[in-house]
Amino acid sequence: MFVNAVLSGLTLGGVYALVALGLTIQYGVSRTMNLGYGEFLIGAAFAVFMLFGTLGISPYLLAIVIVPVAYGLSWLVYRVMLMPIVRRARSPMALEIDSLLLTFGLLFAMMGVLVLFFGGNYTSYSYLSVPVHLMGETVALNRLASFIAAVLVGALAYGLLMRTRTGMALRAVAVDPVGARLVGIDVTWAAGLAFGLGGAIAALGGVLISTYMTFTAEMGVVFTMKALIVVIMAGVGHVMGALIAGLALGLIEAFVAAYLDPGLTVAVIYAVFLLTLLMRPSGIFGKAAR
Protein backbone atom coordinates (compact mmCIF):
# COMPACT_ATOMS: atom_id res chain seq x y z
CA MET A 1 0.00 0.00 0.00
CA PHE A 2 2.86 2.38 0.82
CA VAL A 3 4.49 2.10 -2.62
CA ASN A 4 1.13 2.46 -4.32
CA ALA A 5 0.40 5.64 -2.32
CA VAL A 6 3.81 7.07 -3.24
CA LEU A 7 3.36 6.36 -6.94
CA SER A 8 -0.20 7.72 -6.92
CA GLY A 9 0.91 10.82 -5.01
CA LEU A 10 3.79 11.52 -7.37
CA THR A 11 1.67 11.19 -10.50
CA LEU A 12 -0.97 13.53 -9.07
CA GLY A 13 1.55 15.87 -7.46
CA GLY A 14 3.51 16.23 -10.69
CA VAL A 15 0.49 17.78 -12.41
CA TYR A 16 -0.31 19.91 -9.34
CA ALA A 17 3.26 21.20 -9.41
CA LEU A 18 3.00 22.03 -13.10
CA VAL A 19 -0.33 23.84 -12.68
CA ALA A 20 0.97 25.79 -9.66
CA LEU A 21 4.06 26.76 -11.64
CA GLY A 22 1.87 28.46 -14.24
CA LEU A 23 -0.01 30.47 -11.62
CA THR A 24 3.28 31.40 -9.94
CA ILE A 25 4.62 32.80 -13.20
CA GLN A 26 1.39 34.72 -13.90
CA TYR A 27 1.06 36.30 -10.48
CA GLY A 28 4.75 36.75 -9.74
CA VAL A 29 5.44 38.78 -12.88
CA SER A 30 2.16 40.54 -13.67
CA ARG A 31 1.14 41.15 -10.01
CA THR A 32 -2.44 40.33 -10.97
CA MET A 33 -4.26 37.34 -9.47
CA ASN A 34 -6.18 35.25 -12.02
CA LEU A 35 -9.11 33.45 -10.41
CA GLY A 36 -10.14 32.18 -13.84
CA TYR A 37 -6.91 30.19 -14.11
CA GLY A 38 -8.50 26.79 -13.58
CA GLU A 39 -11.05 27.42 -16.34
CA PHE A 40 -8.23 27.36 -18.90
CA LEU A 41 -7.29 23.94 -17.54
CA ILE A 42 -10.84 22.59 -17.76
CA GLY A 43 -11.37 24.24 -21.14
CA ALA A 44 -8.31 22.44 -22.48
CA ALA A 45 -9.57 19.15 -21.02
CA PHE A 46 -12.89 19.53 -22.84
CA ALA A 47 -11.11 20.56 -26.05
CA VAL A 48 -9.08 17.33 -25.92
CA PHE A 49 -12.18 15.30 -25.12
CA MET A 50 -14.02 16.74 -28.12
CA LEU A 51 -11.13 16.53 -30.61
CA PHE A 52 -9.98 13.09 -29.49
CA GLY A 53 -13.52 11.75 -29.81
CA THR A 54 -13.94 13.34 -33.25
CA LEU A 55 -10.52 12.91 -34.85
CA GLY A 56 -8.98 10.12 -32.78
CA ILE A 57 -5.67 12.01 -32.49
CA SER A 58 -3.51 11.41 -29.42
CA PRO A 59 -4.15 13.98 -26.64
CA TYR A 60 -0.40 14.57 -26.42
CA LEU A 61 -0.34 15.55 -30.10
CA LEU A 62 -3.43 17.71 -29.65
CA ALA A 63 -1.52 19.59 -26.95
CA ILE A 64 0.71 20.98 -29.72
CA VAL A 65 -2.33 22.95 -30.94
CA ILE A 66 -4.24 23.54 -27.70
CA VAL A 67 -1.33 24.92 -25.65
CA PRO A 68 -0.44 27.76 -28.10
CA VAL A 69 -4.14 28.67 -28.37
CA ALA A 70 -4.33 28.89 -24.57
CA TYR A 71 -1.22 31.09 -24.60
CA GLY A 72 -2.85 33.47 -27.08
CA LEU A 73 -6.14 33.63 -25.18
CA SER A 74 -4.36 34.27 -21.86
CA TRP A 75 -2.25 36.99 -23.47
CA LEU A 76 -5.45 38.62 -24.80
CA VAL A 77 -7.06 38.44 -21.35
CA TYR A 78 -4.13 40.37 -19.92
CA ARG A 79 -3.87 42.93 -22.71
CA VAL A 80 -7.60 43.57 -23.17
CA MET A 81 -9.10 42.98 -19.71
CA LEU A 82 -6.33 43.54 -17.19
CA MET A 83 -4.21 46.29 -18.76
CA PRO A 84 -6.88 48.98 -18.13
CA ILE A 85 -6.89 48.23 -14.39
CA VAL A 86 -3.08 48.04 -14.37
CA ARG A 87 -2.88 51.56 -15.81
CA ARG A 88 -5.33 53.07 -13.34
CA ALA A 89 -4.17 51.20 -10.21
CA ARG A 90 -2.86 53.60 -7.58
CA SER A 91 -1.03 50.97 -5.59
CA PRO A 92 -0.04 47.28 -5.80
CA MET A 93 -2.77 46.45 -3.28
CA ALA A 94 -5.42 48.21 -5.38
CA LEU A 95 -4.22 46.30 -8.45
CA GLU A 96 -4.53 42.95 -6.66
CA ILE A 97 -8.05 43.73 -5.43
CA ASP A 98 -9.21 44.92 -8.86
CA SER A 99 -7.70 41.88 -10.59
CA LEU A 100 -9.39 39.56 -8.10
CA LEU A 101 -12.79 41.12 -8.77
CA LEU A 102 -12.32 41.15 -12.53
CA THR A 103 -11.07 37.58 -12.85
CA PHE A 104 -13.78 36.41 -10.43
CA GLY A 105 -16.24 37.54 -13.08
CA LEU A 106 -14.10 35.92 -15.79
CA LEU A 107 -14.27 32.64 -13.86
CA PHE A 108 -18.06 32.54 -13.93
CA ALA A 109 -18.24 33.73 -17.54
CA MET A 110 -15.94 30.94 -18.72
CA MET A 111 -17.69 28.40 -16.50
CA GLY A 112 -21.05 29.43 -17.94
CA VAL A 113 -19.82 28.95 -21.50
CA LEU A 114 -18.45 25.48 -20.65
CA VAL A 115 -21.68 24.45 -18.93
CA LEU A 116 -23.69 25.73 -21.91
CA PHE A 117 -21.73 23.61 -24.40
CA PHE A 118 -20.90 20.52 -22.35
CA GLY A 119 -23.46 20.44 -19.54
CA GLY A 120 -22.77 19.73 -15.89
CA ASN A 121 -22.21 15.97 -16.06
CA TYR A 122 -18.94 14.20 -15.36
CA THR A 123 -16.89 13.59 -18.48
CA SER A 124 -14.06 11.20 -19.25
CA TYR A 125 -12.53 9.20 -22.06
CA SER A 126 -10.21 6.22 -22.28
CA TYR A 127 -6.62 6.71 -23.42
CA LEU A 128 -3.58 4.60 -22.50
CA SER A 129 -5.58 2.91 -19.73
CA VAL A 130 -3.05 0.11 -19.71
CA PRO A 131 -1.66 -1.33 -16.46
CA VAL A 132 2.10 -1.02 -15.96
CA HIS A 133 3.93 -2.98 -13.26
CA LEU A 134 6.38 -0.80 -11.38
CA MET A 135 8.13 -1.57 -8.08
CA GLY A 136 5.72 -4.41 -7.41
CA GLU A 137 2.65 -2.21 -7.91
CA THR A 138 0.34 -1.55 -10.83
CA VAL A 139 0.10 1.96 -12.28
CA ALA A 140 -2.00 3.09 -15.24
CA LEU A 141 0.17 4.06 -18.21
CA ASN A 142 -1.75 7.33 -18.72
CA ARG A 143 -0.89 8.45 -15.17
CA LEU A 144 2.75 7.52 -15.60
CA ALA A 145 2.99 9.28 -18.98
CA SER A 146 1.35 12.40 -17.55
CA PHE A 147 3.79 12.46 -14.64
CA ILE A 148 6.78 12.16 -16.98
CA ALA A 149 5.39 14.92 -19.23
CA ALA A 150 4.75 17.18 -16.22
CA VAL A 151 8.32 16.65 -14.94
CA LEU A 152 9.85 17.37 -18.35
CA VAL A 153 7.79 20.51 -18.95
CA GLY A 154 8.39 21.71 -15.38
CA ALA A 155 12.14 21.27 -15.83
CA LEU A 156 11.98 23.06 -19.20
CA ALA A 157 10.02 25.99 -17.73
CA TYR A 158 12.44 26.21 -14.79
CA GLY A 159 15.39 26.23 -17.19
CA LEU A 160 13.71 28.96 -19.26
CA LEU A 161 13.25 31.14 -16.21
CA MET A 162 16.67 30.56 -14.66
CA ARG A 163 19.01 30.12 -17.64
CA THR A 164 17.85 32.47 -20.40
CA ARG A 165 17.82 36.24 -20.92
CA THR A 166 14.04 36.17 -21.27
CA GLY A 167 13.75 34.35 -17.97
CA MET A 168 16.11 36.84 -16.37
CA ALA A 169 13.89 39.69 -17.58
CA LEU A 170 10.78 37.99 -16.18
CA ARG A 171 12.48 37.43 -12.82
CA ALA A 172 13.65 41.04 -12.74
CA VAL A 173 10.09 42.29 -13.26
CA ALA A 174 8.83 39.90 -10.57
CA VAL A 175 11.37 41.25 -8.06
CA ASP A 176 11.11 44.98 -8.86
CA PRO A 177 8.99 46.28 -11.78
CA VAL A 178 10.21 49.86 -11.31
CA GLY A 179 13.87 48.84 -11.27
CA ALA A 180 13.32 46.57 -14.29
CA ARG A 181 11.84 49.48 -16.23
CA LEU A 182 14.86 51.63 -15.37
CA VAL A 183 17.25 49.12 -16.97
CA GLY A 184 15.25 48.99 -20.19
CA ILE A 185 12.93 46.01 -19.67
CA ASP A 186 9.46 46.42 -21.16
CA VAL A 187 7.35 45.56 -18.11
CA THR A 188 4.10 45.39 -20.08
CA TRP A 189 5.65 42.93 -22.54
CA ALA A 190 7.03 40.81 -19.69
CA ALA A 191 3.70 40.73 -17.86
CA GLY A 192 1.81 39.73 -21.02
CA LEU A 193 4.37 37.02 -21.76
CA ALA A 194 4.12 35.66 -18.21
CA PHE A 195 0.32 35.66 -18.32
CA GLY A 196 0.39 33.81 -21.63
CA LEU A 197 2.90 31.25 -20.36
CA GLY A 198 0.79 30.64 -17.27
CA GLY A 199 -2.31 29.99 -19.38
CA ALA A 200 -0.34 27.66 -21.66
CA ILE A 201 0.92 25.65 -18.68
CA ALA A 202 -2.61 25.45 -17.26
CA ALA A 203 -3.88 24.13 -20.60
CA LEU A 204 -1.13 21.52 -20.68
CA GLY A 205 -2.16 20.46 -17.18
CA GLY A 206 -5.72 20.08 -18.45
CA VAL A 207 -4.56 17.88 -21.34
CA LEU A 208 -2.60 15.63 -18.98
CA ILE A 209 -5.33 15.38 -16.33
CA SER A 210 -8.04 14.63 -18.89
CA THR A 211 -6.34 11.35 -19.85
CA TYR A 212 -6.99 9.73 -16.47
CA MET A 213 -9.44 11.86 -14.46
CA THR A 214 -13.14 12.56 -14.76
CA PHE A 215 -13.96 16.26 -14.92
CA THR A 216 -16.89 18.66 -15.17
CA ALA A 217 -17.37 22.18 -16.45
CA GLU A 218 -17.52 23.43 -12.86
CA MET A 219 -14.23 21.90 -11.65
CA GLY A 220 -11.97 24.77 -12.72
CA VAL A 221 -12.31 26.53 -9.39
CA VAL A 222 -11.05 23.39 -7.61
CA PHE A 223 -7.78 23.48 -9.53
CA THR A 224 -7.49 27.24 -9.05
CA MET A 225 -7.79 26.81 -5.30
CA LYS A 226 -5.26 23.97 -5.21
CA ALA A 227 -2.82 25.99 -7.29
CA LEU A 228 -3.32 28.96 -4.95
CA ILE A 229 -2.65 26.75 -1.93
CA VAL A 230 0.59 25.50 -3.47
CA VAL A 231 1.72 29.01 -4.49
CA ILE A 232 1.02 30.49 -1.05
CA MET A 233 2.52 27.53 0.82
CA ALA A 234 5.69 27.71 -1.27
CA GLY A 235 6.00 31.49 -1.13
CA VAL A 236 4.65 33.80 -3.84
CA GLY A 237 7.00 33.93 -6.81
CA HIS A 238 9.20 31.00 -5.70
CA VAL A 239 9.35 28.73 -8.77
CA MET A 240 11.23 25.76 -7.32
CA GLY A 241 9.18 26.01 -4.13
CA ALA A 242 5.96 25.71 -6.15
CA LEU A 243 7.24 22.55 -7.82
CA ILE A 244 8.22 20.99 -4.49
CA ALA A 245 5.00 22.04 -2.74
CA GLY A 246 2.91 20.67 -5.63
CA LEU A 247 4.54 17.27 -5.32
CA ALA A 248 4.03 17.39 -1.55
CA LEU A 249 0.33 18.19 -2.00
CA GLY A 250 -0.14 15.19 -4.27
CA LEU A 251 1.62 12.91 -1.79
CA ILE A 252 -0.50 14.21 1.11
CA GLU A 253 -3.70 13.53 -0.85
CA ALA A 254 -2.57 10.02 -1.76
CA PHE A 255 -1.51 9.04 1.77
CA VAL A 256 -4.66 10.44 3.36
CA ALA A 257 -6.81 8.56 0.84
CA ALA A 258 -4.85 5.33 1.35
CA TYR A 259 -4.47 5.30 5.14
CA LEU A 260 -7.36 7.42 6.44
CA ASP A 261 -10.36 8.23 4.27
CA PRO A 262 -10.61 9.73 0.74
CA GLY A 263 -13.26 12.10 2.07
CA LEU A 264 -10.72 13.67 4.43
CA THR A 265 -8.23 14.76 1.76
CA VAL A 266 -9.64 18.28 1.40
CA ALA A 267 -9.82 18.81 5.18
CA VAL A 268 -6.23 17.62 5.70
CA ILE A 269 -4.91 19.77 2.85
CA TYR A 270 -6.55 22.89 4.27
CA ALA A 271 -5.30 22.01 7.75
CA VAL A 272 -1.72 21.77 6.41
CA PHE A 273 -2.26 25.02 4.53
CA LEU A 274 -3.46 26.86 7.64
CA LEU A 275 -0.65 25.41 9.74
CA THR A 276 1.88 26.61 7.18
CA LEU A 277 0.42 30.11 7.20
CA LEU A 278 0.56 30.23 11.00
CA MET A 279 4.17 29.08 11.15
CA ARG A 280 5.49 30.67 7.94
CA PRO A 281 3.19 33.53 6.79
CA SER A 282 5.50 34.29 3.86
CA GLY A 283 5.53 30.65 2.71
CA ILE A 284 7.91 27.76 3.31
CA PHE A 285 10.46 29.08 0.82
CA GLY A 286 9.48 32.75 0.98
CA LYS A 287 11.43 35.46 2.72
CA ALA A 288 9.80 37.36 5.56
CA ALA A 289 9.16 41.02 4.85
CA ARG A 290 11.18 43.52 6.85
Residue 270 belongs to a domain: no
Residue 82 belongs to a domain: yes
Residue 231 belongs to a domain: no
Residue 237 belongs to a domain: no
pTM for this structure? 0.91
pLDDT value of position 286: 67
Kindly give the confidence (pLDDT) of every residue in the chain, 290 residues in length, as a single tens digit, with 9 standing for 90 and above.
Answer: 787 888 888 888 888 888 899 999 998 888 888 999 999 999 999 999 999 989 989 999 999 999 999 999 999 999 999 999 988 888 888 888 888 889 999 999 999 999 999 988 999 998 888 888 877 777 888 888 888 888 888 888 888 888 899 989 998 888 888 888 888 889 999 999 999 999 999 999 999 999 988 999 999 998 998 888 888 888 877 788 888 888 888 899 888 988 888 888 888 888 888 888 888 887 787 665 43
Number of domains in the chain: 1
pLDDT value of position 70: 95
Q: Domain residues for 173?
A: 11-221
Residue 90 belongs to a domain: yes
Count other C-beta atoms under 10 Å from residue 283's C-beta: 22
Residue 182 belongs to a domain: yes
Residue 110 belongs to a domain: yes
Residue 118 belongs to a domain: yes
